[in-house]
C-alpha cells in the first residue's frame, strides 16, 4: 500500500468524447471524490472505511467517499458526464464497461496494470472483463462466478447423481420431483438474472451475443452462419425441454432471481445455478441449506464448460485532477491487502480465498468464466429476456427465437452505435 504514488508515469488518458466533459474536473487536486456501492453498516463498509482513511493519511489526500446504489451510480455518471463534473474513482458493474468507455470518461490504466504486483494473480477471464479495445479500463475489486448448487439430501432421496450434462438434467428431473415434491432444476424466466443465464448456455455452445469485427464494431453473426444459428436454436430447445420434461417448475417462466433464490434456499428447488451470495441463507435457512454442495454448471455433451463471471471494475475517471493518486487508490481496492480484508470470499485474486465452499469452490470455476462484450447492453439484455419469453410463454419455436434474437441484437447495436462500421 506504501508505493507513494509511483504510478505517475503509469497512467494514460483516453480522449474525452464529445459529451461536454472538460479535460479537468476543476476540483481540488489533493481531494479525491470516491463513489462506492456497499451496504452501510455491513462488514464491507466497516472494513474499508479505515483502510481508505489510512491510505489518505499516508499520501496526504482527502478522500470524500459517497455511497449510492449501482443504479444511482449509473444515472449520476451519465448526468455528470454531460455536465463535465465527474468524480475521480467509481465502483462499477460489468454492464457499464462498454457504455462508459464509449463516452470517453474512463482512464486507460493499462500501464498501471502492467506494473501492478498482483496482476499475475488475476485470471485472463477477469482481465478480459476489464479490457476494451486493448486498453485496461479498471481494476477488479470484486469477482464472483456462478456455480451449480445442489441439495445433496434431495438428490439422495431420489437416488440420482449430480448431473453434468443437459441430457442428464432432463432425464432425472421428473424422478426428483416424484421422490421429493421439489422441482429439480431452477430456471430464471424474468429479470436481470435471465440474460446472464442465457449468456452462459450460449457460451457452452461456443456462441457469443456479439463479436467484434475486423473493421471495428460488433455484430451478431448467427443468421449469417447456419451452424451458429443451429447451436443457438439448441439453447432455446434446452429451455423448452426443461419445461416440457418437468425438470423445472411450470411457473418458471415468470420467476425472477428473488423467486429462484428463495425456492432453492427453502428446498422447493433441488438444484440451481446462482452465486455465492447464497451463503448468507445458511444463517436464515439453516434447516434447508446445510446439505448444499457446489459444482460446475451442466453443459451439453458436444459443448464446453462455461459460467457467468461478474467481475466488478473500479474506474478512474479520465478527467481527474489527481489522476495518478486516483489510479493508485482504485488499485488498492484490488490489492491483496484490501482483498483479504474486505473481499476474501469474492476476490479477483487467485491468492485470496477462504476455506469455505462459497469461496474456494466458486473460485475454481473462474477460468471458464464469460461476460458480456463491451457494448451498450440495455436494449440487448431486454432482447435476450424477450427471446426466452418467446419460447417459454409465446410458443415460438427455438429456431424462430434464435433468428429473432440475432436480428434484434443487431438492431440494438445499430441504435447504440456499437454496430460494425459505426
* Distance of alpha carbon 101 from alpha carbon 113, whole angstroms: 17
Residues 84-95 pLDDT 10s: 889 999 999 888
Q: Domain check: are 17 and 106 in the same one?
A: yes
* Distance of alpha carbon 375 from alpha carbon 377, whole angstroms: 6
Q: Domain check: are 226 and 277 in the same one?
A: yes
Q: Is residue 217 part of a domain?
A: yes
Q: Domain check: are 96 and 185 in the same one?
A: no
State the pLDDT at residue 43: 82
Q: Is residue 422 part of a domain?
A: no
Provide the residue range defining the domain that includes 66. 12-144+309-370
Q: Domain check: are 174 and 314 in the same one?
A: no
Q: Are 413 and 375 in contact (CB under 8 A)?
A: yes
Q: Is residue 44 part of a domain?
A: yes
Q: Domain check: are 189 and 336 in the same one?
A: no
Residue-averaged pLDDT of the chain: 90
Cβ-Cβ contacts under 8 Å for 248 (sequence gap 6 or more) = 173, 183, 184, 185, 186, 187, 242
What are 318's three cell numbers?
A: 479520465
Residues 224-265 pLDDT 10s: 999 999 999 999 999 999 999 999 998 888 888 788 899 999
The CATH number that applies at residue 296 is 3.40.190.10
Helix (H, G, I), strand (E, B) or coil at 146: coil
Q: Domain check: are 190 and 169 in the same one?
A: yes
Q: Domain check: are 399 and 268 in the same one?
A: yes
Instruction: Tell me the pLDDT band of 140, cut-offs 50, 70 and 90.
Output: very high
Strand ranges, E, within 209-319: 211-212, 218-219, 269-274, 292-295, 307-316
Strand ranges, E, within 165-275: 183-185, 211-212, 218-219, 269-274
Q: Is residue 6 part of a domain?
A: no
What are 118's three cell numbers?
A: 498482483
State the pLDDT at residue 20: 36
pLDDT above 80 for 321: yes
Q: Domain check: are 330 and 398 in the same one?
A: no
What are 179's three cell numbers?
A: 421422490
Q: Is residue 2 part of a domain?
A: no
Higher pLDDT, 19 or 218: 218
Pick from 370, 388, 408: which residue ends a domain? 370
pLDDT above 80 for 331: yes
* Distance of alpha carbon 24 from alpha carbon 217, whole angstroms: 29
Q: Domain check: are 131 and 172 in the same one?
A: no
Identify the sign of the CA torsion 344, 350, 351, 355: positive
Percent with pLDDT over 70 in the chain: 93
Q: Is residue 192 part of a domain?
A: yes
Residues 277-293 pLDDT 10s: 888 889 889 999 999 99
Pick from 370, 385, 406: which residue ends a domain? 370
Q: Domain check: are 178 and 34 in the same one?
A: no
Q: Is residue 216 part of a domain?
A: yes
For residue 67, what are the β-bridge partners?
36
Helix (H, G, I), strand (E, B) or coil at 140: strand
Strands 107-108 and 218-219: unpaired
Domain tally, the chain: 2
Nearest to 381 by CA among 195, 253, 209, 129: 195
Q: Domain check: are 301 and 317 in the same one?
A: no
Nearest to 142 by CA among 94, 101, 96, 106: 94
Q: Is residue 7 part of a domain?
A: no
Q: Domain check: are 404 and 364 in the same one?
A: no
Run of H or E including 157: helix 152-157
Residues 14-56 pLDDT 10s: 333 333 333 344 567 899 999 999 878 778 889 999 999 999 9
Amino acid at each position: 500500500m506504501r508505493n507513494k504514488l509511483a504510478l505517475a508515469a503509469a497512467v494514460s488518458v483516453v480522449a474525452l468524447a464529445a459529451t461536454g466533459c472538460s479535460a479537468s474536473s476543476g476540483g481540488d487536486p489533493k481531494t479525491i471524490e470516491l463513489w462506492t456501492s456497499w451496504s452501510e453498516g455491513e462488514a464491507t463498509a466497516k472494513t474499508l472505511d479505515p483502510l481508505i482513511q489510512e491510505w489518505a493519511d499516508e499520501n496526504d489526500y482527502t478522500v470524500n467517499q459517497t455511497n449510492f446504489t449501482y443504479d444511482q451510480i449509473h444515472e449520476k455518471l451519465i448526468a455528470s458526464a454531460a455536465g463535465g463534473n465527474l468524480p475521480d474513482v467509481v465502483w462499477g458493474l460489468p454492464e457499464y464497461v462498454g457504455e462508459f468507455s464509449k463516452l470517453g470518461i474512463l482512464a486507460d490504466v493499462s500501464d498501471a496494470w502492467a506494473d501492478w504486483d498482483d496482476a499475475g494473480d488475476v485470471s485472463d477471464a477477469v482481465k478480459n472483463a476489464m479490457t476494451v479495445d486493448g486498453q485496461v479500463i479498471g481494476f477488479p475489486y470484486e469477482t464472483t462466478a456462478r456455480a451449480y448448487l445442489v441439495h445433496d439430501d434431495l438428490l439422495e432421496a431420489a437416488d440420482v447423481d449430480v448431473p453434468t450434462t443437459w441430457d442428464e438434467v432432463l432425464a432425472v428431473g421428473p424422478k426428483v420431483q416424484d421422490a421429493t415434491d421439489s422441482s429439480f432444476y431452477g430456471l430464471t424466466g424474468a429479470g436481470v438474472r435471465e440474460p446472464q443465464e442465457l449468456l452462459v448456455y450460449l457460451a457452452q455452445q461456443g456462441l457469443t451475443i456479439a463479436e467484434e469485427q475486423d473493421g471495428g464494431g460488433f455484430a451478431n453473426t448467427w443468421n449469417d452462419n447456419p451452424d451458429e444459428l443451429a447451436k443457438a436454436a439448441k439453447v432455446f430447445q434446452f429451455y423448452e425441454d426443461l419445461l416440457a420434461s418437468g425438470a423445472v417448475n411450470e411457473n418458471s417462466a415468470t420467476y425472477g432471481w428473488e423467486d429462484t433464490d428463495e425456492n432453492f434456499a427453502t428446498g422447493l428447488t433441488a438444484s440451481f445455478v446462482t452465486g455465492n451470495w447464497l451463503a448468507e441463507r445458511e444463517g436464515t435457512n439453516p434447516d434447508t441449506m446445510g446439505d448444499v454442495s457446489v459444482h460446475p454448471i451442466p453443459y451439453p455433451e458436444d459443448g464446453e464448460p462455461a459460467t457467468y463471471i461478474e467481475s466488478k471494475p473500479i474506474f478512474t475517471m479520465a478527467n481527474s485532477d489527481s489522476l495518478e493518486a486516483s489510479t493508485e487508490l482504485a488499485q488498492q481496492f484490488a490489492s491483496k491487502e484490501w482483498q483479504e480484508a474486505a473481499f476474501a470470499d469474492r476476490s479477483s485474486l487467485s491468492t485470496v480465498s477462504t476455506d469455505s465452499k462459497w469461496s474456494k469452490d466458486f473460485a475454481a470455476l473462474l477460468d471458464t468464466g464469460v461476460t458480456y462484450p463491451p457494448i451498450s447492453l440495455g436494449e440487448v439484455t431486454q432482447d435476450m429476456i424477450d427471446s426466452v419469453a418467446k419460447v417459454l410463454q409465446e410458443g415460438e419455436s427455438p429456431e424462430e427465437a434464435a433468428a429473432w434474437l440475432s436480428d434484434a441484437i443487431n438492431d440494438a447495436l445499430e441504435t447504440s452505435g456499437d454496430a460494425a462500421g459505426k
